[in-house]
Chain A
């Protein structure tokens, strides 16, 4: 755009501001209410008003109660292990689909990709029964299987595309140098797919960090709850202390928002992974 019409610019900014209010107001409400005292909302002052006596008390209580960090640790553990396994298994399968010719290649690939549209709720009852049967019910690790399995299809889909792009010459050269298919995978295919791996790491981390349904069905003990389940239980318990709930919500949303602000392009690219094909 070379020439800028000031009138046009002003109207664009005005529209931009309107959506800024729509998108940002709930966040403002959430973070600000967290600074209020429990009874301030009952005092008849406008909900938009700035806290009468802003205090960090709610935030402090959440952070020092100890259980918040248990939930964060649970979430970090299950998301971390799941993402590593998704990337490992996903890239292994993608490598086979991209570089090997065999009869079942296409049918298996299509079967796995069909998993993209399957609603997780269809599997909820059998997975629940199965988890009880093998004695994993109510443990954090009960989530591992469903988390990995349901996120493999998209990961395989995206990584297969990446692995197809590896030039044939590199592979020939590696072969002439005597490296076999497995060594080629670890030494060449995997490093060359780093951008794809990074994208899928971001995507899967965001999805799993926020996952609710499986945690809701498979976990009951407070100690084993990941963060989203914990905030759901928390609001049931403290329904009347709105400022306290808002401070919990703010703190739970903060990590991803900070990561996003630091690495915006990476996160945006990751979040779009599901739509790029």
Chain B
């Protein structure tokens, strides 16, 4: 039992022995963790295991029997040009997301930091964040029309500035569809990084700014040499978030292009969905899902180790 002395000694109640005594603590621990463990077990852990199991079968998801085909799905995956293309597209999304969202997000954060409490800049901040509040589905539908060659905004805007030759069916063209979607992804998520960076910039002690300005550093050099190194931890977090997030994109792409035309904007997640649901290839779809899992987890572990080493070096 928890004696007062025990609590005083450890600051915590509860111990766990190899064979737990069924005392109040053990019971509390068990009861309080139970709902979480059951839910995560059923809806997260077991499905992952099950995905790997299904990846060794040929099955349409309905038939009572499924055929065990060993590694056939996996070898098919490695020879599947569309999967390779989807993977490559995912890499393009990841790298462009980081390359576009981070600098613009930081630029806007600096802008708002400079603007301070001035009314107009507070209004800017409020409106800049709007895209983050809309569902990806709504954004996807909205931009489908904005890109529309006959009723959209982009082509008339280009014509207005004399770039008539640039106009095209942005989403219907295999050369531009992926980039058109990435532009929307950046439009949607840049405000997130802006707010994140702004919070970091505001937390830099005022004295540091004053001191550097008195020393004649100038605002530009203050941000580059003093503020940026101080918020590098936040930037690192932002890059990891963007990386992991970019590998999971589905909603927006699905709504705007369904991966098309001719797989030009296919991502691993959309390909997995297409295989498992409309095509009834549950076994192969599970293989794509499992591959996606391996890639994301591999990258996450890599980033974790990489950034940890980076931290100890600094």
Which chain A residues have a beta carbon within 8 Å of chain B's beta carbons? Answer: 1, 12-13, 15-16, 19-20, 22-27, 29-30, 33, 41, 46-48, 85, 88-90, 92-93, 95-96, 99-105, 108, 112, 115, 117-130, 145-146, 148-150, 152-153, 156, 168, 171-172, 175-176, 180-182, 185, 206, 209-213, 217, 227-229, 231-232, 235, 242, 245-246, 249, 252-253, 256-257, 260-261, 264, 267-268, 271-272, 274-275, 277
Q: Min CB distance, B271 to chain A, in Å?
A: 10
Give the complex CA separation of A184 and B273 in angstroms.
Answer: 46
Instruction: Specify which chain A residues have a CB less than 8 angstroms from the CB of B50 in the assembled complex.
Output: 125-126, 129
Interface residues of B in 1-36 (CB under 8 A from A): 2, 4, 7-8, 10-16, 24-25, 28-29, 32-33, 35-36
List the 9 shortest-distance A-B pairs measured between CB atoms, nearest first. Answer: A102-B16, A210-B135, A123-B47, A126-B47, A149-B43, A126-B50, A100-B14, A92-B32, A149-B39
Instruction: Specify which chain B residues have a CB less than 8 angstroms from the CB of A103 in the assembled complex.
Output: 16
Say yes or no: B134 contacts A23, CB within 8 Å. Answer: no
Instruction: Specify which chain B residues have a CB less than 8 angstroms from the CB of A156 in the assembled complex.
Output: 36
Known A171-B11, A256-B133: A264·B126 in contact at CB below 8 Å = yes
Instruction: Specify which chain B residues have a CB less than 8 angstroms from the CB of A102 in the assembled complex.
Output: 14-16, 29
Which chain B residues have a beta carbon within 8 Å of chain A's beta carbons? Answer: 2, 4, 7-8, 10-16, 24-25, 28-29, 32-33, 35-37, 39-40, 42-44, 46-48, 50-51, 54, 61, 108, 111, 114-116, 120-121, 124, 126-138, 141-146, 151-153, 156, 187, 191-192, 195-196, 199, 237-238, 241, 244, 247-248, 250-251, 255, 269, 272-273, 276-277, 282, 285-286, 289-290, 292-293, 296-297, 300
Say yes or no: A249 contacts B4, CB within 8 Å. Answer: no
Give the complex CA separation of A54 and B229 in angstroms.
Answer: 52
Total contacts A to B, CB within 8 angstroms?
Answer: 274
Further pairs besides A102-B14, A235-B141: 6, Cβ < 8 Å: A118-B297, A119-B293, A123-B289, A212-B251, A257-B133, A275-B196
Say yes or no: B293 contacts A210, CB within 8 Å. Answer: no
Say yes or no: A253 contacts B46, CB within 8 Å. Answer: no
Give the complex CA separation of A25 and B42 in angstroms.
Answer: 43
30 contacts between A and B (CB under 8 A): A15-B111, A16-B111, A19-B128, A23-B130, A23-B191, A85-B35, A92-B35, A108-B33, A115-B40, A117-B296, A118-B48, A119-B247, A119-B269, A121-B289, A122-B48, A123-B44, A123-B51, A124-B273, A126-B50, A126-B54, A130-B47, A168-B11, A181-B28, A229-B137, A246-B145, A256-B134, A257-B133, A260-B129, A260-B130, A271-B192
Instruction: Specify which chain A residues have a CB less than 8 angstroms from the CB of B35 in the assembled complex.
Output: 85, 88-89, 92-93
Give the complex CA separation of A117 and B247 in angstroms.
Answer: 10
Instruction: Specify which chain A residues have a CB less than 8 angstroms from the CB of B248 in the assembled complex.
Output: 119-121
Instruction: Specify which chain B residues have a CB less than 8 angstroms from the CB of A48 in the assembled complex.
Output: 153, 156
Say yes or no: B138 contacts A274, CB within 8 Å. Answer: no
- Residue from the set A121, A148, A274 with the largest chain B CB neighbour count within 10 Å: A121
Q: Min CB distance, A24 to chain B, in Å?
A: 5
Give the complex CA separation of A277 and B196 in angstroms.
Answer: 11
Say yes or no: B24 contacts A24, CB within 8 Å. Answer: no
Known A96-B29, A175-B4, A249-B138: A206·B133 in contact at CB below 8 Å = yes
Instruction: Specify which chain A residues have a CB less than 8 angstroms from the CB of B144 in the assembled complex.
Output: 235
